[in-house]
Structure 1
Amino acid sequence: MKLSGLLAVFLFLCAGQRSSGMSHPKPSCRYPPSQWCRSLEIAIACKVQKQCMELNATRPNQSVPPVSVTLYYESLCPACRVFITQQLFPTWTILQDIMTVTLVPYGNAKELPLPNSPFACQHGVPECRGNMIEACIIHLTGHSAFHIIHCMESAADVLNAAQPCLQLHAPSVSWSTVDSCVNGGLGYQLMHANAVMTRALSPAHTHVPWVTFNGEYTEENEDKAMSSLLHLVCQLYKGVKPPACTGAPVKLDRSFC
């Protein structure tokens, strides 16, 4: 279940519980806050079913399709990391009821006809490994994937942050499962699929981050996305605007790889 502004709302709820003497979710709640309203069972286990029902009642009209945002990127590209951490993840956290995010880690990599080293990446072998780790995480962790990717891209060392970020946001998925994906055939299959998606872009990408909206790329939308993605998503959404769709865009410096 997707709920806009989930993190901010639950911080507010937790603050309210402290002030009113209510207890925190009991230890039986083994899920991070981002998943508390994912299902009725989880909401009951975490003692927040009432709050989830109230939030569900305020969801936007589901007959209006959400804005589809697809990011083509590289795991170690500085400009991609800035876009993910300063624009994409914060915007999705606030507007996830009216937008969907698809992450495609590949970017400016090249697929090579070599059995032992089938990919060459702009920022070297570590980036190829980072791309594959993130592709495996996206495949294996579902709803938690974006939280894990954001955690990794926010860290000083993206690759070394992978395991602790996985344990934090998807404790039910073992690192050995991800490691098997990276070092086995599945990881290469996922990266090949990302390569195919990236090569199929029209117009062809010339840099990363490369962002499409509802499957289409325009330079105008890219400029807006780099300045204020939240403002752009609000502008593109065809339904009734949520309360978060107010305020003026903030201009940020942009860069590419």
Structure 2
Amino acid sequence: MKLPGLLAVILFVCTNRRSSGLFHPKPACRYPPSQWCRSLEIAISCNVQKQCMEVNAIRPNQTVPPVSVTLYYESLCPDCRVFITQQLFPTWTMLQDIMAVTLVPYGNAKEIPSANSPFTCQHGEPECIGNMIEACILHLTGHSAFQIIYCMESATDVLDAAQPCLQLYAPSVSWSSVNSCLKGDLGLQLIHANAAMTRALNPHHTHVPWVTFNGEYTENEEKTMSSLFHLVCQLYKGVKPPACTGAPVRLNRSFC
């Protein structure tokens, strides 16, 4: 789920005093800002290739594996929503070049032998629907998924926010495709896979949010829940990026 981060967003809105006039994407650009640096073709069509090259130039050495952060959670769990919106997403926004996030919506749900409702969820049927919607979004949207789920989890109503959040961050993915996943066999298969991943945890999860780093659970949950940014910086084995060290980043621009 590699996406341009906060720095890239700032670059895109900024102007370059040495360039002629203000920077604006070409009218042919039909991609949201989160995708502008996804490929050279998109960067050219949106007239941001120079900015994307500058962002890529300061990224850490990609030969060092990123810190793998996996969150096992429930879509309507209040503590999960706080962790996603106040810790995980902000940390990923700043450190996405040295961390890889995997989201597993299932949590404390249970599979039951029933044709009508094969799953029960801690916060009722709406949470089962929310879990499946987010599983479908993760499957269908790929690189945009985390932004969509953050958008949902930070909204007043998670389920009502699903469609507008999808349209905002992945306009090329139709809501009908998510709805088909939700009502068809694919959604059940995705949740069943999440159930299997959750049951396979060692040690077994006792609550959510439950976070593993590079596949391992740490008992220092207080640091995970309150200082995730510093923990990811600490776990990364390569040269620390400027965000971790507090070092200033100098780019060829002077004001916004």
* Per-residue deviation, residues 2-33 of structure 1 (Å, max 9, x unmatched): 466x2333224413259963231122211111
The one-letter code of the counterpart of 2:69 is: V
Q: How does 1:42-53 map to 2 (within 5 A)?
A: 42-53=42-53
The one-letter code of the counterpart of 1:123 is: H
The one-letter code of the counterpart of 1:66 is: P
Contact 1:72–1:211, Cα closer than 8 Å, also in 2: yes
* Per-residue deviation, residues 30-56 of structure 1 (Å, max 9, x unmatched): 111111100011101110001111211
Q: State the partner residue of 1:145.
A: 145
Q: State the partner residue of 1:229.
A: 228
Q: SS of 1:100's equivalent? A: strand
Q: SS of 1:10's equivalent? A: helix
Q: State the partner residue of 2:55.
A: 55
Q: SS of 2:160's equivalent? A: coil
| Larger mean Cα displacement after TM superposition, 236-245 or 16-25 | 16-25
Paired residues in the alignment total 245
Q: SS of 1:162's equivalent? A: helix
Contact 1:3–1:59, Cα closer than 8 Å, also in 2: no
Change (3 A) 1:19 1:70: same
Structure 2 distance, partners of 1:18, 1:104, is: 45
1:199 equivalenced with 2:199 (yes/no): yes
Q: SS of 2:103's equivalent? A: strand
Q: State the partner residue of 2:121.
A: 121
Q: State the partner residue of 1:79.
A: 79
* Per-residue deviation, residues 73-124 of structure 1 (Å, max 9, x unmatched): 0000000000000000010011000000000000000000001100000000
Q: SS of 2:242's equivalent? A: coil
Structure 2 distance, partners of 1:156, 1:35, is: 26
Structure 2 distance, partners of 1:133, 1:180, is: 10
TM-fit CA distance, 1:175: 0.2
The one-letter code of the counterpart of 1:216 is: E
Contact 1:3–1:56, Cα closer than 8 Å, also in 2: no
Change (3 A) 1:18 1:3: farther
Change (3 A) 1:155 1:19: farther
The one-letter code of the counterpart of 2:205 is: H
Q: SS of 2:15's equivalent? A: helix
Q: State the partner residue of 1:252.
A: none
TM-score normalised to structure 2 length: 0.92
TM-score normalised to structure 1 length: 0.91
Q: State the partner residue of 1:255.
A: none
Contact 2:104–2:135, Cα closer than 8 Å, also in 1: yes
Change (3 A) 1:171 1:41: same
Q: Stretches of 4+ moved more than 3 A in 1? A: 1-4, 17-20
Q: State the partner residue of 2:132.
A: 132
Q: How does 1:170-189 map to 2 (within 5 A)?
A: 170-189=170-189
Contiguous gaps of at least 5 residues in structure 1? 248-257
Structure 2 distance, partners of 1:155, 1:13, is: 25
* Per-residue deviation, residues 52-77 of structure 1 (Å, max 9, x unmatched): 11211211111110000000000000
Contact 1:3–1:55, Cα closer than 8 Å, also in 2: no
Structure 2 distance, partners of 1:191, 1:2, is: 23
